[in-house]
Amino acid sequence: MHTYTEPKKEQRSSIPAVTPKPQDIRTIRLMIVLGLVTMALFLYWFLDKDHVGYMPLYILLTTALFFKLLRTLHEWYHYFDVSAPIAPKLRTRFKVDVLTTACPGEPHSMIVNTLEAIQRIRYPHTTYLCDEGDDPYLKAQCERLGVMHVTRTVKVDAKAGNINNALRQATGDICLILDPDHVPVPEFLDEVLPYFEDPEIGYVQCVQAYHNQKESLVAYGAAEQTYSFYGPMMMGMNSHGTVQAIGANCTFRRSALDSIGGHAAGLAEDMHTAMQLHAKGWKSVYVPKILTRGLVPGTLAAYFKQQVKWSRGTFELLFTVYPRLFSKFTWRQRIHYFTLPMYYLFGVFNLFDFLIPSLSLILAEFPWYVSLGEFVIMFTPFFLISICIRQYAQRWLHEKNEKGFHLFGGILRTGTWWVFMLGLIYSIFRVKVPYIPTPKDDKPKNNWVLSLPNILMVSAILGAIAYSQYIYDHVFTNPYVQMMVMFSLVNVLILASVVVIGQEKFIQWVRHNVLHARLLQPLFQPLRLFIWRTRHGFYDGIRYAAIVITIVAAAVSSGFLLFGYKPYGNNTRSQDIPMVHKLPQKASTSIQSVVQYVR
């Protein structure tokens, strides 16, 4: 415990807060309304019965489309209500405990660095290290730093049990829980404590940011996946009363934790804790400021371990905890805790995306019949508006480097389809997954085994393309085959990219010997700067022109539907376009041979 000294005026926090302007909120709301209109027009056109092809594939395609549209609506739902809280003046002298954890195998230097940063927090507090390994070195460091070292012999409930064990000794009014890789700024408590002046506030969450996102392509992509969530998405949750607790840097009112029996257990223990607190009627606040920086998974193995744990944990909460607490949630919270785990269904629907074009090429049956020009006219406005809304919402990200299309994050997520599916399967069949902290010091390796599902999927897709080219005569004169081949090749490119990203030792060699080679720096450094400026100038340009692009796109979509496209009228129908409904002799003979062999 140390005494608190009020920071001088010039020493007070200069950490910038992301505060939305009223005119920006009005603008994005208008864009979202126009986006909804364009989405409705696209669906009206898409569901035209003349477009329906082979029904099983059409059902797969429609289901995958609706899932993606629901994810888009989920984003827009949060963007519509972004807000930042106004901190009251701190009047109460709260007694504060700060807890961090240590597990065997985690780097000592990382834990000690975090403990030293915690002890630099200005507001008076008592620091606890919840040490699962009862490590003599860490015990000595705690004595040196004035930190309470806590361990336990009966180890249950993983991280939650470790924290609850320390809470039995802690006596503070407020409890800050930090992961051992998250280094707080000295002003941390000064920034979050004022919100606890409201006695209904159960916890305060701040931004989760990273300092190693450039460590590897995996780290870069994993960090990109979080930028929007910790920006406008969480700011929307702030308005909805659904702020998500994140175990890495969440500050709790001790009486709130006690009211639910302590930190809730599970693979997604932070989400479970938030659900229990919201069900008890406690409120939450999101502070859109970077007050800590931690580690994002730097290797494919660490990232996959994290994702299978999170997917298994969130599905478990959806299947078992959500139904029990449903009646105690507000309607906003019911939406929140139902839709949040749906993110991990990307595994199932990415599989659909891989199967649809491949099965179309193999069966010579197609899910949907439209001309390419008509598809471009109807889909492009909705696509452009979606891009504009996301780019406009990036004014509420926290750092300039966070802005962009986040392609690496999307590619990495697509290549994680089989991991998400494992989490779902484990949840359905109640397969236990041990709580293992995300590895903090994994060494780069060439992950051929972890890349095997994606390699096999790439092989299957290329096999479908080769089969269609061999079996069907003049197949590439058919526009639908061309489209299916194009979609298949896009899938191959994405999955192959994840396979390459997984070869970490190779990429590390390229970075060291080529990109960072001393002799090439006079060429690469100006090129990097040029690309960075051009890229961010392009992003800024989209944000500035977003409202204009949105209005024009909505007008084009509406105009085509009103004056150009006539459902069940003179539009191009499936029978007007050359198809391969009947199998050519070569294909028929091949299939008959297979049938005879099976018999």
User: Of 74-83, 530-539, 578-587, which one has max mean pLDDT?
Assistant: 74-83
| DSSP, residue by residue, 349-375 | HHHHHHHHHHHHHHHT--SB---HHHH
* CA–CA separation, 155 and 164 (whole Å): 11
pLDDT at 93: 97
Q: Give the C-alpha distances (Å, rounded to integers) separating 25 from 29, 217, 548.
A: 6, 34, 16
CB under 8 Å to 401, separation ≥6 — which residues? none
Tens of pLDDT, residues 461-472: 999 999 988 776
Nearest Cα neighbor of 223 from 211, 208, 213 is 213
Give the SS3 label for residue 468. Answer: helix
Q: Which residues are bridge partners to 503 per DSSP?
A: 446
Vertex 257 angle, CA 139 and 184, to 5°: 50
The one-letter code for the residue type at 438 is T
pLDDT at 573 exceeding the cut of 50: no
Print the SS3 string covering 471-487.
HCCCHHHCHHHHHHHHH
Which two structure tokens, joined as six digits, stand for 544?
């500035």
pLDDT at 223 exceeding the cut of 60: yes
| DSSP, residue by residue, 531-575 | HHHHHHHHHHHHHHHHHHHHHHHHHHHHHIIIII--TTTTS--GG
| Banded pLDDT at 574 (limits 50, 70, 90) | very low
Q: Which residues are bridge partners to 128 per DSSP?
A: 99, 148
Query: What is the rounded average pLDDT of the residues 93-106?
Result: 96
| Banded pLDDT at 561 (limits 50, 70, 90) | confident
Percent of the chain with pLDDT over 70: 90
pLDDT at 324: 98
Residue-averaged pLDDT of the chain? 90
pLDDT at 320 exceeding the cut of 90: yes
The one-letter code for the residue type at 496 is A
Which two structure tokens, joined as six digits, stand for 121?
């927090």
Instruction: Work out the angle between the directed axes of helices 452-471 and 585-598 (0-180°, nearest 10).
Output: 120
Tens of pLDDT, residues 236-286: 999 999 999 998 899 999 999 999 999 999 999 999 999 999 999 999 999
Q: Cβ(185)–Cβ(287) under 8 Å?
A: no
The one-letter code for the residue type at 165 is N
Q: Cβ(263)–Cβ(160) under 8 Å?
A: yes
Structural Rg of the chain based on CA atoms: 27
Vertex 33 angle, CA 19 and 31, to 5°: 50
Q: Cβ(163)–Cβ(132) under 8 Å?
A: no
pLDDT at 316 exceeding the cut of 60: yes
CB under 8 Å to 206, separation ≥6 — which residues? 188, 191, 192, 249, 251, 286, 287, 288, 289, 290, 291, 292
Give the SS3 label for residue 128. Answer: strand
pLDDT at 245: 97
With the CA atoms of 249, 250, 254 and 257 taken in that order, what torsion angle do they form, in degrees rounded to the nearest 10? Answer: -120
Q: H helices within 168-286, ranges in order?
A: 188-192, 217-228, 234-240, 254-259, 269-279
The one-letter code for the residue type at 533 is R
Q: Cβ(194)–Cβ(11) under 8 Å?
A: no
pLDDT at 92: 97
Tens of pLDDT, residues 378-424: 899 999 999 999 999 999 999 989 999 999 999 999 999 999 999 99
Print the SS3 string covering 67-123.
HHHHHHHHHHHHHCCCCCCCCCCCCCCCCEEEEEEECCCCCHHHHHHHHHHHHCCCC
pTM of the predicted structure, to 2 decimals: 0.92
* CA–CA separation, 297 and 305 (whole Å): 9
* CA–CA separation, 576 and 482 (whole Å): 17
Vertex 176 angle, CA 271 and 252, to 5°: 55
pLDDT at 5 exceeding the cut of 60: no
pLDDT at 354: 98
Q: Cβ(202)–Cβ(284) under 8 Å?
A: yes
Domain spans of the chain, in order of start: 22-82+346-585, 96-297
The separation between CA 248 and the C-alpha centre of its own chain, rounded to angstroms, equals 16
Query: What is the rounded average pLDDT of the residues 73-82?
Result: 98
CB under 8 Å to 313, separation ≥6 — which residues? 266, 267, 268, 269, 271, 272, 433
Q: Cβ(13)–Cβ(187) under 8 Å?
A: yes
* CA–CA separation, 4 and 58 (whole Å): 65
Give the CATH architecture of domain 96-297.
Alpha-Beta Complex (3.90)
| Banded pLDDT at 585 (limits 50, 70, 90) | very low
> Tokens 């929307």 sit at which residue?
236
pLDDT at 579: 47
> Tokens 């289901």 sit at which residue?
63
pLDDT at 377: 84
Give the SS3 label for residue 336. Answer: helix
Nearest Cα neighbor of 363 from 197, 591, 124, 123 is 591
Residue 154 or 441, more confident: 154
Dihedral pair phi/psi, residue 366, rounded to 5°? -125, 145
Instruction: Work out the angle between the directed axes of helices 346-363 and 452-471 (0-180°, nearest 10).
Output: 20
Give the SS3 label for residue 292. Answer: strand
Q: Cβ(422)–Cβ(344) under 8 Å?
A: no
Strand order in the sheet with 209-210: 183-184, 292-294, 209-210
